Amino acid sequence: MPKEASIVIIGAGASGLTAALELKRAGVNVTIIEARDRIGGRMFTKKDPRTGAVVELGAEFIHGRPPQIWNLLRKNKISTRAVDGDNFCIQNGELSGCDFFSQIDRVLDKLTDRRRDQPFLQFLRNYEKKNPIPPEVRARTLRYIEGFHAADPRLISIHSLVKGMQADENIDGEQAYRIRKGYQELLNVFQSRIEDVTIDLNTQVEQISWNQGEVRITARAKSKRKIYQASQVLITVSLAVLQSKSIKFAPSLPVQKRQALSKLAMGKVIRVTLCFRERFWENLRLNKKSLSKLSFLFSDDKLFPTWWTQMPGKTPVIVGWAPFHAADQLSGDSLDAITNKATRTLSTLLHIGHRDLQNLLSASYFYDWEDDPFSRGAYSYVKVGGGHAQQNLAKPIANRLFFAGEASDITGYNGTVHGAMASGQRAAEEIIRAISGP
């Protein structure tokens, strides 16, 4: 027998959970279908038993003070901590302070959406013709685009970068925070507030059939076929899953929706968390500089150019970040292989013997989001000419199919948890208007 539900939400990530909460408040009956064996999507918190450290396999930071997250944190008295400490750079093997941020900002400040859109790399080449910059600044600027945006500089739209920078200014996005006990705390809030909402885990959607009367969803749970019927469905799966066509639509998605998908891309990132027996860098001095308050470490390493600790927290943990091009090389590797490459990089950067570093290592953690069939990447970015792609992806179809997720965020916060939550709020409002009638 078909399982009846007023609204079906596909995906229990930040956008799906937010939408479920908003719809529940409005008295709407909701069922959530989730392919994984857990809720949270690309929020995935673990705790290292030896060090007690919070280990984020997905989202870690809150960028600025977006109300979508902070309102929930305050209401539930969840503790946060501002990221603090010293930032260092390593260039040609030498440790120094990072004095290039202002130079990168000068380049980024010249970005504009008042002229024809172009890829960031083309913009940078045109900029250099009139404003020569040192090779290291050029390299750092490209690494910023690849690292922070997880994007290919040859593809990412400068109009989208301008939109994102303007959005960040509204929430003081330059200051980053962490939830002390990790994003799991936010998931606990959602879980407690929608505890009477049915969430079917380990259930993979295969087809969505829709017409003017209803939506019929065919899914599979452990080789068992399940059918859901709903008046509306909210689709919150990742951009890359939609692009992969692993979910069939009958009839097919309209041309405008398919064109929107072609103008967006899924970014690539590999991160590894290294847990040590002690904060060995606390006693290190490189180039007469103490690393006791090390927060971020930037280098020109080809695999792991960016590292960070949990400062101001004093846990013996360092995270290595492999963006875009490096993530391509590392995806598919085992945890042991990733850990070996990461520790080799770190030993070179910090002038510590690799074997000594391995002896200090107590555990390592890594999750390959690109290899995950329910994610297929890190987070989205807009390609050149995709100025309306997010709006078109977000548009409902026939008041039956609705869309949310960070890639459909229209506020400039794609690629973030708060962007995903904002899209869930927007979609919930659209659904409530649709079922309320004129």
Let me know if the fold of 3-42+183-266+387-436 is the same as that of 84-174+269-330+333-367: no
Query: What pLDDT does residue 99 have?
Result: 77
CATH number of this structure's domain 84-174+269-330+333-367:
3.90.660.10
Tens digits of residue pLDDT in 397-427 = 999 999 999 999 999 999 999 999 999 999 9
Residue 436: pLDDT band with limits 50, 70, 90: confident
Tens digits of residue pLDDT in 193-217 = 999 999 999 999 999 999 878 899 9
Query: What pLDDT does residue 254 have?
Result: 96
**From residue 335, how far is each of 172, 241, 272, 408 by CA, in Å?**
36, 24, 9, 32
* pTM assigned to the model: 0.96
Tens digits of residue pLDDT in 36-73 = 999 999 999 999 999 999 999 999 999 999 999 999 99
**Residue 5 clears pLDDT 60, i.e. is over it:** no
Residue 93: pLDDT band with limits 50, 70, 90: confident
Tens digits of residue pLDDT in 223-250 = 899 999 999 999 999 999 999 999 999 9
Domain boundary assignment for the chain: 3-42+183-266+387-436, 84-174+269-330+333-367
**Residue 97 clears pLDDT 90, i.e. is over it:** no
State the CATH architecture for 3-42+183-266+387-436. 3-Layer(bba) Sandwich (3.50)
Query: What pLDDT does residue 438 have?
Result: 66
**Residue 286 clears pLDDT 80, i.e. is over it:** yes
Tens digits of residue pLDDT in 328-386 = 999 999 999 999 999 999 999 999 999 999 999 999 999 999 999 999 999 999 999 99
Average of per-residue pLDDT values in the chain: 95
